[in-house]
Amino acid sequence: MTDSPVAIVTGGAQGLGAAICIELLKKGYRVCAVDIQGEKAEEFAKQQQLVYGKESITASHCDVSKESDYIRVFEETIKTFKRVDVLINNAGILLESNPRKTIDVNLMGPIYGCYTAFKYMGKSNGGNGGVVINTSSLAGFLPAAENPVYAVSKHGIIGLTRSFGLPLHFDKDGIIFACVAPHMIDTDILKSVNKTLVPDYDISKVHSHILMRPEFVAKGYMKILEDKINGSVLTVIPGEYRYIEAQKEVTELLKRNNI
């Protein structure tokens, strides 16, 4: 157990984050589940310790919009487990009424997480490399009339992942970057849809027949950990996992014009 890999999961106390933690535990990872709701994270960790052992999971409070919290979480995890191999930037919100907070949590959070991973996991800083998985959404590819700021944040995650997933960074630090872009998931985040734009819009009912279970989406993160395709974006829709290269047409356009 002392040699098993270690993962940090943000937003790890509930919903998709909790499902990811459980999948990691099943795979033999040791896990630090971090969440803005620190007490909820502690309770979740205690529940999982009953199943996977006291040495398998810890918990910590983390406000992902604060770089200092990421640094503290990494230092605590290394102190406890002696290493960090995987960071999963999963924490997110859907709050159109507060654009700044949405960007701070959904985009700045993963940015801080990636740079903290370089600091503690990067080979250029004495680390052993590893994997960082960010959480985007199909809204990272498509427009979202009801939730434009959310869409902006998730578009940004794809650009961040693909940029850090280039050889320039891997050759220096040995960290693989990838992200998951799922369709709608049956979690509490759907309840936070801003209904001031469309007062009668009930997303949980309108789309109830295609909502995915968190457990199904969480297995997509395990697929990335197995495949280790740097800069990749894995879309998850009901019944299917598929890697998407949305920049292909733009790349071909530039090549045709010798740019």
The angle formed by the CA atoms of residues 223, 215 and 221, to the nearest 5 degrees, is 25
- Whether 115 is a known active-site residue: answer no
The angle formed by the CA atoms of residues 67, 103 and 193, to the nearest 5 degrees, is 130
Task: Specify the amino acid at residue 128.
Answer: N
What is the number of other CB atoms lying within 10 angstroms of the CB of residue 228? Answer: 10
What is the number of other CB atoms lying within 10 angstroms of the CB of residue 100? Answer: 11
Residue of 29, 52, 70, 150 marked catalytic: 150
Residue 75's closest CA among 84, 67, 65, 66?
84
Distance between CA 101 and CA 126 in Å, rounded?
Answer: 34
Burial class of residue 239, CB neighbours in 10 A (0-12, 13-18, 19+)? exposed
Helix, strand or coil, per DSSP, at residue 195: coil
Query: Would you please indicate which residues are annotated as catalytic (active-site) residues?
Result: 150
